[in-house]
Structure 1
Amino acid sequence: MATATKWVIDPMHSEVQFKVKHLVISTVSGFFKSFEGSLTSESDDFEGASVEFTIDINSIDTNQTQRDEHLKSADFFDAEKYPNLKFKSTSFTKAGDDEYKLTGDLTIKDVTKPITLDVEYGGSADDFYGNTKAGFEVTGKINRKEFGLTWNGITEAGAIVAGEDIKITINAQFAKQA
């Protein structure tokens, strides 16, 4: 029987980015600066791995302080009451040579729903210190309203301020644990 290998996210070489349409004509990007995650796998190709991820909502950064404070407020994430966004996988299946489908439960505020994300395995390598690292790019899209992020601003001209679909990109480097 295979032994499970645990991998822990290396925050120095990882990023969590999101994009949302603004006024339907342009895109606003943002990052979460504080997060942690782990991946546990019994196989070298990561098939069937379990993945857990937690993001600190207060670490949101859209390069505009006033907007960040609004996103942390009860209009959106309500970070004071719900400080973390959480993901726990239910399946990690191979979809191609270096491609996977990651399905799991995403919790934002007090709403938990299943989502499926695309994962591209970038490979593994040893760093200067002999640590084995594995890289993944995770992409997907969620509808913010399904998770209770229902604030809707409308301009005087009738344009919607923030789109409903949120594009997510996570570039994650995991370090193999001894």
Structure 2
Amino acid sequence: MKNNTNWSIDTAHSEIAFKVKHMMISTVTGHFEDFQATAKTNGDDFNNAILEFSAKTASINTKNKDRDTHLKSDDFFNSEKFPEMTFVSKSFNGDTLVGDLTIRDVTKEITLDAELNGIAVDPYGQTKAGFDMTGNINRKDFNLTWSAVTEAGSIVVSDKVKLVLDVQFIKQS
């Protein structure tokens, strides 16, 4: 099958977010503000699409400056040494997206549940495709190993991280 249609992410209508339990009682949500993604498809059919994604780790935003600074440090992303995280798909069947996620210097295969919300033409004549994608990773698999325990024995940051991607692609002419 020949991939012959190129799509680029519509960053104004997309969000790359993560959720992680804090002290096992509440959930902290963060997102990356600087990211890019492309898709190559056979026409408008996203089955077997090739997707590539990258985000600047220093663009992390959890609405808490001190926490963001900590996340950019070597305890987590080490944004200075590893400025980008990347994802390259291996397979996509419309429901499941499988690919290699690289954070820091570790690459692991991950699986995301994917739902195509639809393909539509906007008022400006641009064809757009919208997806919701979710999945879970263990942050320690990617050397994001910082850990602490409260006086009561609660883990401060869960190892499990939920990925939540709401993305819209624009068909390139």
Q: What range describes the TM-score normalised by the shorter chain of this pair? A: over 0.9
Greater CA deviation, 141-150 or 123-132? 123-132
- Alignment match of 1:147 (pick from 142, 161, 165): 142
Q: Which shows bigger deviation, 104-113 or 44-53? A: 44-53
Partner of 1:166: 161
Matches of 1:3 and 1:19, distance apart in 2: 33
RMSD (Å) for aligned C-alpha atoms: 1.1
Look up the equivalent residue of 1:103 and give its one-letter code: V
Structure 2 length-normalised TM: 0.97
The offset of 1:7, in angstroms, is: 0.5
Which ranges in structure 2 are unaligned for 5 or more consecutive residues?
none
- What residue in structure 1 maps to residue 99 of structure 2? 104
**More divergent stretch after superposition (125-134 vs 6-15):** 125-134
Deviations 1:1-47, CA, capped at 9 Å, x for gaps: 75610100010010011100000111111111110000101143311
How many residue pairs were aligned? 173
Per the normalisation by structure 1, the TM-score is 0.94
Aligned structure 1 segments of 4 or more residues deviating by more than 4 angstroms = none
Task: Give 1:104 shift.
Answer: 0.4
Segments of 5+ residues of structure 1 without an aligned counterpart are 95-99
In the aligned structure 1, how far is the partner of 2:129 from the partner of 2:47?
14
Contact 1:155 1:161 in 2 (8 A): yes
Query: Contact conserved, 1:89 with 1:103, CA < 8 A, in 2?
Result: yes
Quote the residue 1:97 is aligned against. Answer: none
- Secondary structure of residue in 2 paired with 1:16: strand
Partner of 1:48, secondary structure, is strand
Percent of aligned positions that are identical: 53
What amino acid sits opposite 2:28 in the alignment? V
Partner of 1:129: 124
